[in-house]
Amino acid sequence: MNIIPAIDILGGRCVRLYQGDYEQTEIFNDNPVDVAKRWVDEGATKLHLVDLDAAKAGQPVNQKTIEAIVKAVHIPVQVGGGLRNYSTVASMLAIGVQQAILGTVAIEQPQLVSEFCQEFPGQIIVGIDARDGKVATKGWLETSEVLATDLARQMAQMKVAAIIYTDIHRDGTLKGPNIEALRELATVVSIPVMASGGISSITDLLSLLALETIGVRDVIIGRALYTGDISLPEANQAVGQGRWQDVPPNLGSSTFA
């Protein structure tokens, strides 16, 4: 299992939201590039970036910052936020981003996701962000009537590389992940699932590690890393992915492989 630090960018700064609420924003660093370098220094093998401005605007806003991060680190970077048409996805991948995360477009124009998967095989991820089991869109500002499990099945059929599942009610709260929702979603698809939202402790990580056999391969952590509730080196060691130790065969399989 891989631990992936999250870097949310709003107004050019590294921030965290509480339950996806733009009105409840906490600034952690004015320079996201410095944050990215820090996580690499502490053992990160991948980074998860979200352009929060773009998620609202529907088009990339902080692309220069994202490009600077890609150039500054030597590990794979996945990016989401405002990627809703061919040009934005293509331009993001062209600057060196390894995987593009689609959200709103998966609900509003699912056929585009299929086209992206054919054009960019292995580079398209779909983020499923849910409130009470239903998918939220447009930077979590709206909630659809589509069930997360139904969207997951549809996206898996389109051959997306992976699904990121976030329980919005848990995100940024440090209240622990929604294990049952993750288990339910992972059992309806055969592609890798990334867990996100609410992770607050090593105990949470060990609970998620128990889901690895059903496809939960990666864990995205945000607030807990910034508050110090979780140490990245300790988290890596807990799940057996520390770069300072040997990783048993197959344990280190990666969505980015």
The residues carrying an active-site annotation are: 8, 129
Give the C-alpha separation, 195 to 31, whole Å. 26
Tokens representing 216 are 């939960």
Burial pattern 128-153, b for ≥16 Cβ within 10 A else e, equals bbbbeebbbbbbbeebbebebbebbe
Q: Name the residue among 163, 166, 145 with its Cα closest to residue 153.
A: 163
The one-character DSSP state at 113 is: H
Place of tokens 């589509």: 146
Tokens representing 62 are 């902080």
Percentage helix, strand, coil, to 5, in the chain? 35, 30, 35
Tokens representing 125 are 């991820």
Burial pattern 81-110, b for ≥16 Cβ within 10 A else e, equals bbbbeeebbeebbebebbbbbbbbbbbeeb
Burial class of residue 213, CB neighbours in 10 A (0-12, 13-18, 19+): exposed
SS3 state at 73:
coil
Place of tokens 């299929």: 114
Place of tokens 């992915």: 241
Burial class of residue 212, CB neighbours in 10 A (0-12, 13-18, 19+): middle
